[in-house]
A and B are shown apart, each in its own frame.
Chain A
């Protein structure tokens, strides 16, 4: 039995990891673009981005999942179809949007925390804007955002369990299924081991990254 459970949980956890990886892949670039939008001196743009960020950070991710999945159909636009791939796509849309908002605020904070003098020092040395961003600012921003990004990413791992509200079968869904099918409750609790192990790994990774960037002070 144990083997059957583990196999099923493994399968579910692969789905969780998929959600995790795709969210990062989508939300990091989108968050970066949004952070530039929120820092724009063009007021309508920065206002719009900040409103979006407020909405996605201010309301539960679970409601966002439900809304993004069900609302189009209720309005007569069945964009997600009926199959499991449609539910997965809806889940990814919700996760990427939600996390892009969190990331954009972290990026904005990181970029704005770099003293103006850094950019100006680059300017008076005849550097271009691109050179200043990549050679001067970027690494300092990365150093500053590693700790908050670590927190957010660990939260993301746990948040992947929310997709089961729209029936995407991830590890917890599979764990819970054993209650009905075999009267077993422990598989549900056993899923925690997966989260703990993976987050342990991430903690080590972020610790290593912080150490790597420890050679200078900002």
Chain B
């Protein structure tokens, strides 16, 4: 069974239909890239999967070691409670285009804050906090920032900030890590260091969904590519097909804008 199963997901903002039935599944350890023109609904899809927006209809399920969890089922017809939404979110991590680091905390504190809050009121809190500290340091080392633990966000470059944000998202060991155009807010010379971290995560078999305009990167790391336009999946498949030999005219047209296809 696939780790993540998204079925016929819809999202309306009042009259505006932004997602019109998105279905895909993702195997554990795979990387999925999502490409498509502006306004197609890519960000909205990630926001729905992380419950920053409530989907209008459809189904989201996760099948991890702990069994099968239906995180959202529009046909069940009842609203999710706040506590349930928080539980759901722990399956996922999200890296934003604009980093959104907490400015008053150091890199290390940014990474450890959420796990520390979750350790509150636990019996073995002391031991947990020590473990959290160690793990946070380890995560920052992994993204190449072992020497910047005590730096505040404003003391870091955009690329470094985004790498802290990735470490922060990994701190709660999500099943799936989502990226929404993680390099779009960066100067071109800084995109490489962030993409390298994502590549490394892919090699370590982190399950990821990456919305990106970096076609070369999508080609290199993805197991699967979705082309989304107008709230529907126009084309999906392995990168060699979607990026290399697209069958849909709309995909070809889009890729021509990137000097491909």
Q: A120-B96, A125-B172 are in contact. List 17 more A-B contacts (CB 8 A).
A: A117-B96, A117-B98, A117-B100, A118-B100, A123-B51, A123-B52, A123-B89, A124-B52, A125-B113, A125-B169, A126-B90, A126-B172, A135-B113, A135-B117, A139-B104, A217-B103, A218-B104
- A216-B152 contact given A121-B100, A124-B89, CB 8 Å threshold: yes
A209 to B50, CA, bound (A): 38
By beta carbon, the residue of chain B nearest A120 is: B52
Of the residues A124, A129, A136, A217, contact of B93 by C-beta under 8 Å: A124
Asked if B114 is an interface residue, CB under 8 A from chain A, the answer is yes
Q: Give the A-B contact count at a CB cut-off of 8 A.
A: 66
Name A residues whose Cβ lies closer than 8 Å to a Cβ of B: 115, 117-118, 120-129, 131, 135-136, 139-140, 143, 215-218
Would you list which residues of chain B between 64 and 108 have a CB under 8 Å from chain A? 82, 86-87, 89-90, 92-94, 96, 98, 100-104
CB distance from B65 to the nearest CB of A (A): 19
- Check A125 against B152 for contact (C-beta < 8 Å): no
A217 to B153, CA, bound (A): 8
What 0/1 pattern do residues 159 to 177 of B give for CB contact below 8 A with A?
Answer: 0000000001100100000
A135 to B96, CA, bound (A): 20
- A residues less than 8 Å from B126 (CB atoms): none
Asked if B203 is an interface residue, CB under 8 A from chain A, the answer is no
Asked if B130 is an interface residue, CB under 8 A from chain A, the answer is no
- A residues less than 8 Å from B142 (CB atoms): none
- A126-B100 contact given A120-B52, A135-B113, A215-B152, CB 8 Å threshold: no
- A217-B117 contact given A117-B96, A121-B96, CB 8 Å threshold: no
- Check A126 against B114 for contact (C-beta < 8 Å): yes
- A124-B94 contact given A215-B152, A216-B154, A217-B154, CB 8 Å threshold: yes
By beta carbon, the residue of chain B nearest A213 is: B104
A127 to B89, CA, bound (A): 10
Asked if B141 is an interface residue, CB under 8 A from chain A, the answer is no
- A118-B102 contact given A124-B93, A125-B114, A126-B86, CB 8 Å threshold: yes
Most buried by B among A124, A125, A136: A124
CB distance from A18 to the nearest CB of B (A): 35
A136 to B101, CA, bound (A): 10
- A140-B117 contact given A120-B52, A124-B94, A215-B152, CB 8 Å threshold: no
Of the residues A123, A125, A126, A140, contact of B103 by C-beta under 8 Å: A140
By beta carbon, the residue of chain B nearest A143 is: B104
By beta carbon, the residue of chain B nearest A114 is: B103
Of the residues B50, B93, B104, contact of A140 by C-beta under 8 Å: B104
CB distance from B13 to the nearest CB of A (A): 16
- Check B89 against A126 for contact (C-beta < 8 Å): yes
Most buried by A among B90, B92, B104: B104
- B residues less than 8 Å from A124 (CB atoms): 50, 52, 89, 92-94, 169
Most buried by A among B113, B118, B168: B113
- A residues less than 8 Å from B103 (CB atoms): 140, 216-218
- A residues less than 8 Å from B96 (CB atoms): 117, 120-121
- B residues less than 8 Å from A126 (CB atoms): 86-87, 89-90, 114, 118, 172
